[in-house]
Structure 1
Amino acid sequence: LQGDSLVAGTLVANDITDVKNMKMIGKIVLQKISPTTNDNWFGNNKVTNDSLNIIWAGGILNMENNAVDSVLTSLKITANGGTVNLGTVAALSTGNLSVNTAGAANITVGVGANTFVSGNLDINNSGTGAITQNTARQLIFNGIDTATYSSTGLAPVIHNITLNKVGGVKLNSPLALQNTLTFTRGIIKSDITNLLKLPAGATVSGAWDSSYVDGAVSKAGNTAFVFPVGQINKYAPISITAPSLASDVFRALYTHTNPNASGYNTAVHDPTLYYVSPVEYWLLDRINGASNVKVTLSFDSVRSGGIGSVADLRVAHWTGTNWMDEGNGGTTGNNLMGTVQSQNLVTSFSPFTLATSTNQNVLPVTLIDFTASKIGSSVVLNWKTTNELNLKSYEIERSKDGILFVPIGSVKAANLGAYHFDDASPLGGKNYYRLILRDKDNYAKNSPVRRVDFGKIVPVTIYPNPVHEYVSIRTEIETNTVLIVTITDQAGRTIGSSSFAAVAGSVKTISTKQLPAGIYNVQIRDVDGIIYFTRQIVKQ
């Protein structure tokens, strides 16, 4: 079976022995009825717009892939007997991937190369055989939309996963990963039942604010471990020191909500604690074993609230009746970001949160967003907050050099969540703005600084629009300036971002081949946050 084909309905081909250079549009079913022969299929094949369904009866099928095989919509592999080896030479790329076995059949994924899945991954092993990934290969979730992972029957053996998917992956079944998990982009959503399970020896790397696990993660083993958890676009890891046995299992989950909402009363605590965080908490449970470990909590001034004194931070543990002071056995970082470890080994578990021994860390308000925009001859400041407990006011300050700030106004905190302030008389040239968040005890913290320039307008041109494969951006800026181009979808999710050194007449070209048809926002700003240009583009 070779060459280009257009299938109006469904093409069913039985006992095909040579499939290569196939470029087909439509629904394709290739099935092996004779159960004893061995075949080498595939090379440089592409099925667009619809699906490819491969049914194997017995013997050995090697999908050689001496060039990339791709199925843009869905690929379904069903082995009712024998062995199917996927990707024996080069990469296999597909939208949805469905892998199914029955009887004693076996399927090995990524024999000689990585496997790319941009859609859902469904695995069904109803027999006694195995669905296995090559230990040296990666299963790479890529693309933009949110995908799901589901598994029934005997669990597959998956060794390595790379998450490079803007929309992330939702687990509809437990996912046991044997070796490595690499975070690049996107979030894994899990829960207590459908959780990410990591055995002894498994490693995790690359987690950050845009890529982590929103939900439950379990880890077995006798080595120290950092659980890659987070929520609301914030990485919020919790760590344990090494348990005693390789069979010990701990499970962690982070939630950015007030502990009081779950019955963990932050007003009831040991007398050595001055204040318990009403912003966030972690559930850390010992699932198997009896090991006691030290617990390390992370903090972030935006996520966790104001940190005035790192030395006064404490690890607090809910005992069922009150928050216990687990002490401060050491810290890292500064008042913007860092960690605090319990003083001693913890003997009982779940929940944990940050606390303070003094009044130096009592500003839990979280600044979600703060922007400064030039509107006509004025500057409009907008900001959003959560957890305005004990907050008195937002003081607005302005500077002409970003160093010396003077107050220009104040807005009373009213638990509204969203605020604005108009500066009707901005300075000529550069204007720097910041907020001072002040509580009723007169403790305060500063917001990030925003800049608005009332100097010369910089012309920016974007073309073509509508776009197909590429979009080009031309600037006429007079001095060499680093500009950042960000593309977002209509939901506000960042699709891509890149920077370039701009001078007069410079052109930045960005590939849009991988973007689905739709409307996107293009924003150009400098490293100080000044927005030069915002425009909608249409991808066709």
Structure 2
Amino acid sequence: MGWMGNANSKIIFRGNLTLGRRAFVNVSNTPGTIEFDGSGSQTITWNNTSYYCEFTNVVIGNTNNPTVNIVTGSAAPDNILGNLTLNGTSVLNLGTSRWNGGTSGGGTGNAGSLTLNGNAVLQLGNNTGGHSGSNFPMRFNTVSISNTSLVEYNVTSGQTIYNLPSPGYGHLSINNGTKSAGANLEVRGSLEIKSGSTFNAGSYTHSIGGNWINDGSFNAGTGTIQFNGSGAQSISGSVSTTFNHFTINKAAGALTLNRTTSISGTGTFTAGIVNSTAANLLLFNDNATATGANNGTNPSFVNGPVRKIGNDAFVFPVGKTGAGYRFCSISAPTPSNVDDVFTAEYMRASAAAMGPMTSTGLSHVSNCEYWNITEDGPNSPTTNITISWSGYSNCNTAAYVTDLSTLVMAQLGVAGWDNHGSSSTSGTVSSGSITWNSLSSFGNFALGSTNGATNPLPVKLVNVKAYVADAVNQIEWTNLTESGIVSYSVQRSVNGQQFTTIGSLPARSQNGGREDFKLTDLQPLLTGYYRIQVIEISGKTTYSPIVKVQRNLATLGIAVYPNPVQKGQSVQLQLTAEPGQYELSLFETGGRLVKKEMIQHRGNTMTQSIELPATLPAGQYFLKLTGSFGTRHTSIVIR
């Protein structure tokens, strides 16, 4: 039996196809396209022992999304002379058989293209018949795999995973038996290691653009797993994964750990944030190292706890989203034990709110940050602790570190901040670190000062705003971490330089919690500048950002000042509009959104302090405000 056809003809099969002993289809009589488009499962059985059955172009799925099973009967499948295309959610299950490209008469020349469109699935159930170590179809000039397609290696014996040409696989599934990488693998979607299967990474570098799901066994070898997707990614599964080398290099989005994840070699932080929790740690084994954590254009660090096992000195690559990379470190513990365990996490919250100053000579501690560093192993080691500061440390516009000679590291005890010390400092007041040697008890550590007039480590004032309310001006502010405060004074100026006090309010709870305040200016100026003066128990005085109110403006719009603004400082947004809720969005010049918040406007003219993300690099940014008046735009320059 033979088929007659030409390059423009098509035959559609919606059921099974069995090729008998004397069936033949070759270049002179094959239809242009053979399409398998059943509504369910279809089987192609090859029994053509006498002649070749070679199709030109083969399409799996069109109107329907069939599962097409290839079966080697008394004969093996013959070549596809042109293109093999899978569409939609169709499945081509090669089982233990094969279906390769090639030239007529069983030739070994290359055919056209192998294409997986949409969510198509290619299932491979043999370790021979195609590319070396598997039955992945070979001898196609081009291979095009969509981001959302799936290739599944599924055989109980060993298989070699074919290294597809760039851009590589969509999703990759490892099912049954042991699968070994044959070269560097590029997976734009997710990689799943199913229960009962093993993936050997070898000595290669494998890039993952989606999720890592491990329900089986992973042998890291000497290789590297790189997470480089442009969106959110995760590591999950029923089995915890141990990588040899681990790299995060993401253009956008974070990598979230949904299982404890270990590194035995080097953890490299190039771009992108790793989210961890106490239940799902990032763990560095004995002799493992971390490198590259940074506050660059796309910062890279661990947003959450990091654990280190072993007797090594180690720099913890910790930080917090929005506050940047804020490292701490330990020296090599003594005595030296490979089962020592230390866990560290950077906390973007007020240390002052956690307790009073009970250590003799300690004036105050940071209102912005602290580190939780614990020893969690079976031993009782001694180590040197180092914590750091930088331009990202501050949580408002006041100064942070001003005098290294009075800067100390404080430790929280049962009754409060009951211990402090300093063995050495390095760097400058802008960026540096402080080390306290020979510690054998651990917990919460913060920057502190022995002098009330130095190292402000400032109060966390936010939502400082002033606005017109009929015949008066209202001034509002929030202290997120009220502790150690005597009073707040509202000060007014006609020019933003010389200020006088128009009213004061006492501190309230003093328990480190949030407190909101409001004061009314009963005799407002046409143009008035306001700031909040904070007087602390220690005698230290700090100030909020300055906000401006302009009364009797008829023009709707927005203004931002100072502009340009120094990196790490806040800006003041002056809005003249009807009452209502407004959406503020801040974009990079390339269009990437870097900040969004909602503003509740009380009407007329109001000025509000806007906190800019501390990690934003210098450059031009565009601000968009959307509300009842439509959309207004302006630009901001960060220096």
Q: Per the shorter chain, which TM-score range?
A: 0.5 to 0.7
Q: Where does the alignment leave 5 or more consecutive residues of structure 2 unmatched?
A: 1-57, 59-82, 102-112, 559-587, 599-611, 623-630
1:122-271 equivalent positions in 2, closer than 5 A: 122-126=213-217, 130-132=219-221, 134-135=223-224, 139-145=226-232, 147-153=233-239, 155-164=241-250, 166-177=252-263, 178-191=265-278, 194-208=281-295, 211-220=300-309, 223-231=312-320, 233-234=322-323, 235-244=325-334, 245=336, 247=338, 248-257=340-349, 266-267=355-356, 269-271=358-360
Would you say 1:329 and 2:423 are equivalent positions? yes
Task: Give the Cα separation in 2 of the matches to 1:184 and 1:451.
Answer: 38
1:46-61 equivalent positions in 2, closer than 5 A: 46-49=145-148, 51-61=150-160
Task: Give the Cα separation in 2 of the matches to 1:41 and 1:292.
Answer: 56
Would you say 1:80 and 2:170 are equivalent positions? no
User: 1:319: Cα distance to partner?
Assistant: 5.2
Note closer, same or farther for the CA distance 1:85–1:451 as it changes in structure 2 (3 Å cut): farther
Note closer, same or farther for the CA distance 1:414–1:165 as it changes in structure 2 (3 Å cut): farther
Out of 158, 164, 167, the residue aligned to residue 65 of structure 1 is 164
Q: What SS class does the counterpart of residue 405 from structure 2 fall into?
A: helix
Which 10-residue stretch deviates more, 409-418 or 333-342? Answer: 409-418
Q: Where does the alignment leave 5 or more consecutive residues of structure 1 unmatched?
A: 460-482, 503-507, 509-520, 530-540
Q: What SS class does the counterpart of residue 142 from structure 1 fall into?
A: coil
Match of 1:527 in 2: 637
User: 1:285: Cα distance to partner?
Assistant: 2.5
Q: What SS class does the counterpart of residue 215 from structure 2 fall into?
A: strand
User: 1:238: Cα distance to partner?
Assistant: 1.9
The one-character-per-residue Cα deviations of 1:346-384 (angstroms, maximum 9, x if unpaired) are 122223333333433677521346679999xx9998755
Task: Give the Cα separation in 1 of the matches to 2:426 and 2:633.
Answer: 36
2:347 partner letter: T
The one-character-per-residue Cα deviations of 1:462-504 (angstroms, maximum 9, x if unpaired) are xxxxxxxxxxxxxxxxxxxxx956525867899x9898789xx
Task: Give the Cα separation in 2 of the matches to 1:167 and 1:374.
Answer: 40
Q: What TM-score, normalized by structure 1, do the two folds share? A: 0.68
Note closer, same or farther for the CA distance 1:116–1:419 as it changes in structure 2 (3 Å cut): farther
Tell me, yes or no, if the aligned pair for 1:379 and 1:426 is still in contact at 8 Å: no
Task: Give the Cα separation in 1 of the matches to 2:316 and 2:395.
Answer: 20
Would you say 1:294 and 2:391 are equivalent positions? no
Task: Give the Cα separation in 2 of the matches to 1:23 and 1:205.
Answer: 37
Q: What SS class does the counterpart of residue 229 from structure 2 fall into?
A: strand
Tell me, yes or no, if the aligned pair for 1:435 and 1:446 is still in contact at 8 Å: yes
Note closer, same or farther for the CA distance 1:418–1:49 as it changes in structure 2 (3 Å cut): farther
Which 10-residue stretch deviates more, 381-390 or 300-309? Answer: 300-309
Task: Give the Cα separation in 2 of the matches to 1:335 and 1:17.
Answer: 68
1:124 partner letter: D
User: 1:316: Cα distance to partner?
Assistant: 2.5
Q: What TM-score, normalized by structure 2, do the two folds share? A: 0.59
Task: Give the Cα separation in 1 of the matches to 2:488 and 2:372.
Answer: 33
User: 1:115: Cα distance to partner?
Assistant: 0.7
Note closer, same or farther for the CA distance 1:25–1:228 as it changes in structure 2 (3 Å cut): same
Tell me, yes or no, if the aligned pair for 1:65 and 1:87 is still in contact at 8 Å: no
1:443 partner letter: K
Decide which structure has the larger Cα Rg and report it. Answer: 2
The one-character-per-residue Cα deviations of 1:427-450 (angstroms, maximum 9, x if unpaired) are 6xxx98765443355522244567
The one-character-per-residue Cα deviations of 1:37-65 (angstroms, maximum 9, x if unpaired) are 72374764323556443324434424222
Match of 2:441 in 1: 348
> Could you say what the CA RMSD is over the residues aligned between the two structures, in angstroms?
5.0
1:427-466 equivalent positions in 2, closer than 5 A: 436-439=533-536, 442-447=539-544
Task: Give the Cα separation in 2 of the matches to 1:18 and 1:368.
Answer: 65
Task: Give the Cα separation in 2 of the matches to 1:279 and 1:229.
Answer: 16
Task: Give the Cα separation in 1 of the matches to 2:275 and 2:439.
Answer: 28
How many aligned positions are there? Answer: 468
Task: Give the Cα separation in 1 of the matches to 2:148 and 2:406.
Answer: 59
Note closer, same or farther for the CA distance 1:116–1:524 as it changes in structure 2 (3 Å cut): farther
Would you say 1:12 and 2:93 are equivalent positions? yes
Tell me, yes or no, if the aligned pair for 1:31 and 1:54 is still in contact at 8 Å: yes
1:117 partner letter: G
Task: Give the Cα separation in 2 of the matches to 1:357 and 1:131.
Answer: 49
Tell me, yes or no, if the aligned pair for 1:434 and 1:446 is still in contact at 8 Å: yes
Q: What SS class does the counterpart of residue 69 from structure 1 fall into?
A: coil
Higher strand share: 1
User: 1:390: Cα distance to partner?
Assistant: 3.4
1:438 partner letter: I
The one-character-per-residue Cα deviations of 1:283-306 (angstroms, maximum 9, x if unpaired) are 322336554222122343328996
Q: What SS class does the counterpart of residue 181 from structure 1 fall into?
A: strand
Would you say 1:317 and 2:407 are equivalent positions? no
1:527 partner letter: V
Match of 1:23 in 2: 116
Which 10-residue stretch deviates more, 218-227 or 21-30? Answer: 218-227
Task: Give the Cα separation in 2 of the matches to 1:373 and 1:53.
Answer: 62
Q: What SS class does the counterpart of residue 190 from structure 1 fall into?
A: coil
User: 1:408: Cα distance to partner?
Assistant: 7.9
Q: What SS class does the counterpart of residue 301 from structure 1 fall into?
A: coil
Q: What SS class does the counterpart of residue 94 from structure 2 fall into?
A: strand
1:282 partner letter: W
Note closer, same or farther for the CA distance 1:143–1:65 as it changes in structure 2 (3 Å cut): same
Task: Give the Cα separation in 2 of the matches to 1:405 and 1:16.
Answer: 84
